[in-house]
Amino acid sequence: MNDKGIAHLEKESGSPIYLLRGKMVLPEGLAQDGLLAWTEGKIIYAGSPEGLPSSIRNQAVSVPVPDGGVIVPGFIDIHVHGGYGEDFMDASQEVLDKITSFHSTQGTTAMLATSMTAPKDRLDRVLAEVDRYRSKLMPYAQLEGVHLEGPFFSPKWPGAQNPEHIVLPNVSWLAEWEKEYPGLIRQVTLAPEREGALEVIAWLRQQRITAALGHTDATYEEVERAIEAGLHHAVHTYNAMTPLHHRNPGAAGAVLSDSRISAEVIADGIHVHPAAISILAQLKQSADQLVLITDAMSAAGLEDGEYKIGDLPVIVKEGVARLKDGGALAGSTLTMIRGFRYLVQDVGMSLSATSRAASLTPARLLGIDHRTGSLAAGKQADIVLLNQKLGIEGVWIKGRMIGG
């Protein structure tokens, strides 16, 4: 983009209009030659180049697209604990800037600040900080709210969550938080077999907060009962849940077989075998119920070394994060663009199915698909430009170029 051109346009029409032309994932599928126009943070046209009114074309600035480049909607990560040395559990305004800034360079345009199993006062603080951050103009990936991952878990499947702080599900904490910060909590992950869980799930349904299963020892039947109560999502499918056995299908079997439940997957090649991702994708992608997440912890974007997840020490070796004590996988060092690339190149998913798993499906879960999650006129200009190798070339959040 040249400065002169932009200045000239601003003089003529107030705000510049930007154009991207190339291979593009539109809501109806992959277009080999698509055109996208946006101004003042909003998409004003997405479709075939011939359909663009010449009045727009004549005053627009074209953004260069590399040969073989692909234009996709910005990624929405509903399960991410941190990055670039910081953890949402240590939330301060500076920490939130650092995490959202790092992930925005990796294609993430919106995310849920994801907490961990911790004492209530620690969770209080995370909610207060995220709420304060959201009340101002957010310069990087938009924090759409909080995902409470725990503390209502099974002590049998803590993963990297500190089992000392696991408690039984209770509505009273959630109701108190909802009153103090209306609409801030967007997802609650719990073990549906625990005492009090069904009551919490019913309450979450009433509040239109996603009730998700995770870190659970539930049987297939217990998950089915929870789905009847309103549970409709599963975090990091296959990880930290009862596995599929053909005579005892477990929580994983319920997630795979029940069309009422959407499913997250950590596509880093470490947490889940590509064949298991492929099975999940074949069952979930056509119903738009597959959700790509990172589950990234603080070491995402940094070198191997010693870190923490929540308050537990972690060693990262060759990009794999494990608890120092016991060696359980401790989140990932994944980013959305690496997960995107893995689904296309290693699992063999199409660009448009992968894009839906990374953008539109999580937007629908959050109830924000009317304003983001796909490239369509009227929506926010949340855009990722990729090169032929599916590396990041540019990211725009509400029309503003990140790092540009």
In contact, 374 and 73? CB cutoff 8 Å: yes
Q: Which two tokens stand for residue 267?
A: 């596509």
CA 281 vs. chain centroid, Å, equals 17
Kindly state the tokens that stand for 327: 């060696």
Are 149 and 110 spatial neighbours (Cβ–Cβ below 8 Å)? no
Catalytic residue among 295, 311, 325, 382: 295
**In the annotation, is 295 catalytic?**
yes
CB 60, CB 5: distance < 8 Å: no
Angle at 105 between CA 104 and CA 111, to 5 degrees: 20
- Cβ 383 vs Cβ 395: under 8 Å: yes
Q: What is the DSSP string of 80-107?
A: E-EETTEEGGG--HHHHHHHHHHHHHTT
**Secondary structure (3-state) at 291:** strand
Residue 196 DSSP SS3: coil
Tokens encoding 179 = 């009153």
| 8 A C-beta contact, residue 52 and residue 37 | yes
Contacts 24+ apart (CB under 8 A), 98-104: 100/138, 100/139, 100/140, 100/141, 100/142, 100/143, 101/139, 101/140, 101/141, 102/300, 102/301, 103/77, 103/140, 103/141, 103/294, 103/296, 103/300, 103/335, 103/336, 104/140, 104/141, 104/395, 104/397, 104/402
Is residue 330 a contact partner of residue 314, using CB atoms and an 8 Å limit? yes
Catalytic positions, written as ranges: 295
